[in-house]
Amino acid sequence: MAAPAARPRLSPACLAQLPANVQQPAYALDGVRIGIVHIGAGAFHRAHQAVYIDDLLATHPEWAICGVSLHSTDVRDALDPQGGLYTLALLGSERHLRVIGALREMLSARDQSAAVLARLADPAVRLVTLTITEKGYCLAGSDLDLSHPDIAHDLAHPAQPRSAIGYLVAGLRERQRHGIAPYTVLSCDNLADNGHRLHRAVLQFARRVDAPLAAWIEASVCFPCSMVDSITPATDDALRERIDVELGCDDAWPIQREEYTQWVVEDRFGGERPPLERVGVTLSSDIAGYDRAKLRLLNGAHSSLAYLGSLMELDSVGDAMAHPALAGFVERLMRRHIAAVIALPRAMDAEGYIDAILQRFRNPSIRHRLSQIAWDGSQKLPVRLLSTIGESLRQGQSIDALCLPIAAWMHFVRRQASRGVALVDPINDTLQALGKGCTGDAGHDVARFLQLEAVFGALGVDPVFGETVRAAYAALGDASPDAVANALARHAV
Ligand code: CS2
């Protein structure tokens, strides 16, 4: 019997042979021009912003994207042989495949640093966007962390940057030198006040390397805030296999996301901006309310499911939502303890927003692993849960329920350390040492965690917070699945 014919690699030449139900770029790939540099071209960017831009290119060919990876060459090496194309699986009630062409160039700063700097200085580039995750901002509180190794390196060698902040400033310096108008810098990360925080970090960096440049940045560069939302489970082998068969081509790095997507952008650009409103983006003069709602409700609930659910040995958000005690706890957490204390946009129907989140978490077409959401807890907890706890304390509200996921994170760190499993977290070494030193005694263990100033800030020395987390840690007992289920059941009454 003849061996089955090898499938060709996805590429522009294959587009004509793709099945008719696979959506394709509605523009000529070679008829568009780079107008955006995106730093951090990981799965979230490729499933979210790049899809909006893919729609936009059909009518506005001058806004194609040059994607940049700062540390790895993986995305570039996967997409280059495919002419930048990749497949997105949209997981709704019906599955829908779409080939995206918006990333017309992929660079890795690891071995193409000069090309990245040249793109940043290109006058046709008027917008630089970022998804570098919380840790990519190198912040300590709201200031730039000058002791961060990448920042220390970039301050000493500003023309050979490693960090996103270093690249943004180096690019702006080139533009200032050559009399080119600056680009607008748009953070698309899950960080409260993302534009303001990035602006502050960039200025703090620039002031140390070049005071006139810092003044120019202050006077002429815009850093709008934005809110991004779409659940994007990491690519797994099951997805790769399904896509290759359905496409009839091999795609080295397909991605998946839920059907739902939202992008709210503060309308504060310097100079020309892409007409994002034409492709479903909400432009707003005040996005703080949207941002707060999304980070505190959706992401706060996600992180709660991740730590409590992982202790219960559950695998995915869907599994966690199928556990009545856990699902009920998270729903109450959102309705009674988060939505009740935060200021939401006036037009927002909080109950409807929460209903929609719960439905998205229950989406049967998606397997979103809790282990993925549990990454980077030290970076995520402050924005997602601790900020709400601070607000509840100021309003004199109970923080009992909100402290349960915080205590679950501490048990999770302890459990991973005792099993010798590294955490995906920029402070893994510190957390491993902390976890290994835990004895199981709530007073002893919690006191050690609360010394993490970068995570807990002023809450670390708040007596009410300390006492409540200790009680929650003790309530989780030995953090076995049964002990966690019992603690959740007690919260139900
Ligand atoms: C998740 C988010 O991995 C995580 O931490 O909470 O990526 C979440 O899926 C997105 O923010 C949804 O927009």
| Among candidate residues 266, 285, 304, the one where a domain is terminated | 285
Are 238 and 335 within one domain?
Answer: no
Are 384 and 465 within one domain?
Answer: yes
Which residue's alpha carbon is at the smallest distance from atom 11 of ligand 1? 229
Are 402 and 462 within one domain?
Answer: yes
* Domain contains 7: no
Closest-lying ligand 1 atom to the alpha carbon of residue 299: 6
Q: Residue 423, SS3?
A: coil
What CATH number has the domain bearing residue 75?
3.40.50.720
Ligand 1 center from residue 239 Cα (angstroms):
19
Which residue's alpha carbon is at the smallest distance from atom 1 of ligand 1? 373
230 CB near ligand 1 (under 6 Å): yes
Ligand 1 center from residue 190 Cα (angstroms):
8
Which residue's alpha carbon is at the smallest distance from atom 13 of ligand 1? 229
User: Could you give the CA distance from residue 41 to residue 53 in angstroms, rounded to a whole number?
Assistant: 14
| Among candidate residues 253, 285, 317, the one where a domain is terminated | 285
Are 332 and 271 within one domain?
Answer: no
* Domain contains 188: yes
pLDDT at position 139, please? 94
User: Could you give the CA distance from residue 9 to residue 82 in angstroms, rounded to a whole number?
Assistant: 7
Which residue's alpha carbon is at the smallest distance from atom 9 of ligand 1? 231
pLDDT at position 42, please? 96
* Domain contains 4: no
Are 347 and 214 within one domain?
Answer: no
What lies within 8 Å, CB to CB, of 284 at 6+ separation is 264, 265, 266, 267, 290
* Domain contains 6: no
* Domain contains 5: no
- Phi first, then psi: give them for residue 151, nearest 5 degrees: -70, -45
Are 67 and 23 within one domain?
Answer: yes
| Alpha-helix residue ranges (DSSP H) falling in 362-427 | 370-373, 377-381, 387-394, 400-418
Ligand 1 center from residue 47 Cα (angstroms):
12
Are 137 and 236 within one domain?
Answer: yes
* Domain contains 133: yes
Are 281 and 295 within one domain?
Answer: no
User: Could you give the CA distance from residue 26 to residue 53 in angstroms, rounded to a whole number?
Assistant: 11
229 CB near ligand 1 (under 6 Å): yes
* Domain contains 106: yes
What CATH number has the domain bearing residue 455?
1.10.1040.10
Closest-lying ligand 1 atom to the alpha carbon of residue 368: 9
Are 332 and 265 within one domain?
Answer: no
| Among candidate residues 240, 258, 285, the one where a domain is terminated | 285
* Beta strand pairing call for 64-69 and 103-108: parallel
Cα within 13 Å of Cα(22), Cβ side: 21
Are 235 and 344 within one domain?
Answer: no
Ligand 1 center from residue 299 Cα (angstroms):
6
300: left (phi over 0), alpha (psi -120 to 50) or beta: alpha
The pick from 298, 353, 381 for probing ligand 1's pocket by mutation, whose C-beta has the most ligand atoms within 8 angstroms, reads 298
pTM, two decimals, is: 0.95
Closest-lying ligand 1 atom to the alpha carbon of residue 302: 6
Which residue's alpha carbon is at the smallest distance from atom 3 of ligand 1? 373
231 CB near ligand 1 (under 6 Å): yes
pLDDT at position 347, please? 82
Are 405 and 262 within one domain?
Answer: no
User: What range does the domain containing 93 cover?
Assistant: 12-285
Residue 466 · residue 389 · CB < 8 Å? no
Which regions in the chain score pLDDT beneath 50? none
Tokens 């300390």 sit on residue: 466
User: Could you give the CA distance from residue 49 to residue 280 in angstroms, rounded to a whole number?
Assistant: 11
* Domain contains 1: no
Are 373 and 388 within one domain?
Answer: yes
190 CB near ligand 1 (under 6 Å): yes
pLDDT at position 4, please? 63
133 CB near ligand 1 (under 6 Å): no
Tokens 């076995």 sit on residue: 480
pLDDT at position 490, please? 86
Total of domains in the chain: 2
CA–CA distances in Å: residue 19 to residues 96, 247, 251: 12, 7, 15
Kindly state the greatest CA–CA separation across the chain. Answer: 75
Ligand 1 center from residue 298 Cα (angstroms):
8
